[in-house]
Amino acid sequence: MRCDVTVLGAGIFGLAIAWACVLRGAKVRVIDPNGIGSGSSGGVVGALAPHVPEQWNAKKQFQFEALDGAADFWAGVAEAAKLPSGYARVGRLQPILDAAGLELAQARAAGAKTLWQGRYVWDIRPAADYAPWISSPTGQVIYDTLSARLAPRQGLIALAAALRAKGAQIVSDGPHSGVVVEATGAAGLDELSDAFGTLVGAGQKGQAAILDADMGGLPQLFIDGVHFVPHEGPNGHGQVAIGSTSERDYTEASTTDAHLDALIEKARRLCPTLSQARVVTRWAGLRPRAKSRAPMLGRHPLRTDHFIANGGFKIGFGIAPRVADVMADLVLEGRDTIPPDFAPAVSLSAQT
């Protein structure tokens, strides 16, 4: 089959872009020799959480639009696939640690009313309403209604099934025909760094775990840098994903180690409800981080007849619905609706 679009990479960016192109009537082939979700997209955490509603910029607006549209995106995927995606807008809780934190939370609550367009709230609530799931030194917590969660592996399975239901191919090898989009994660960033002789981006190791703890439909937590995300586990029994580490120096990219042990111990200390929960899954992998810290979207710096979608890092699943739309605009219609800060040239010239 000759295709209109060939996507290299079957992670969240690649499959989401393929889906957006299929919905616009394109014939699509996805190629990944390692299989679906073999890179960082095969993780376990799935926290779709926004940046704070202050000091607004193009990246935060882009993320807001993606999170706002995520429910429709994943509902469409689930309907076509006839499979659940694991998506739910469950909200998020964060403890308020002191008086200064309370003042800051109040300012951000006011900012959310405008920046989140009145559609979602950044609210202050009694911690007792969510005990014992969360506690707070001040007795108060932040609750936002924009945050959601997605079971990453379940979401990718649903996306792949939806694509196949619409006639798209997902293969390990095959010819490149039509427009080519490279969504190859850490390996793609390594290629760019080698070609330009400077760090354009790299894989940063993350480790995470799933604990056997059924928290029902409670909101996810974010405490002292750790995400706690309740998911629907097998046979209707809930689980909680915790993550993740961020490691620039590592020996084995896909092997869990003492860093994850320390994270699990910290998570149990921060959330005593999980103190006796059994670890059922341990995960490690490389998340693609561009030097600019923003995703790289646009024409490929090495192959100008190709396009690139890379650098999702920690927010790849969260921004994927919007990434898919703007890349489909570009490759199918020639319309560049990508924020200028996401241009590959920005990462090529980034100094930090």
Q: For 73-90, how does the pLDDT look when each residue is reduced to its tens digit (9 = 90+)?
A: 999 999 999 999 999 999
Residues 39 and 176 in one domain: yes
Q: How confident is the model at residue 351 (pLDDT cuts 50, 70, 90)?
A: low
Distance CA 59, CA 76 (A): 25
Q: How confident is the model at residue 233 (pLDDT cuts 50, 70, 90)?
A: confident
Return the DSSP state at 277.
P
Distance CA 96, CA 142 (A): 7
pLDDT in tens, 1-38: 799 999 999 999 999 999 999 999 999 999 999 999 99
pLDDT in tens, 247-272: 999 999 999 999 999 999 999 999 99
pTM of the predicted protein model: 0.97
Percent of the chain with pLDDT over 70: 99
Q: What is the mean pLDDT of residues 30-56?
A: 96
Per-position b or e across 267-276, b if 16+ CB within 10 A of its CB: bbebbebbee
**Structural domain range at position 44:** 5-91+146-349
Residues in the chain, total:
352
Residues 129 and 256 in one domain: no
Contacts of 127 (CB under 8 A, 6+ apart): 95, 134, 135, 136, 138, 139, 140, 141
pLDDT at 116: 97
Residues 108 and 254 in one domain: no
Q: What angle do CA 282, 284, 290 make, to 5 degrees?
A: 150
pLDDT at 350: 83
Domain count, the chain: 2
**For position 253, which CATH number holds?**
3.50.50.60
Residues 247 and 120 in one domain: no
pLDDT at 1: 75
Residues 328 and 179 in one domain: yes
Per-position b or e across 185-215, b if 16+ CB within 10 A of its CB: bbebbbebbeeeeeebbbbbbbbbbbbbbeb
Q: How confident is the model at residue 352 (pLDDT cuts 50, 70, 90)?
A: low
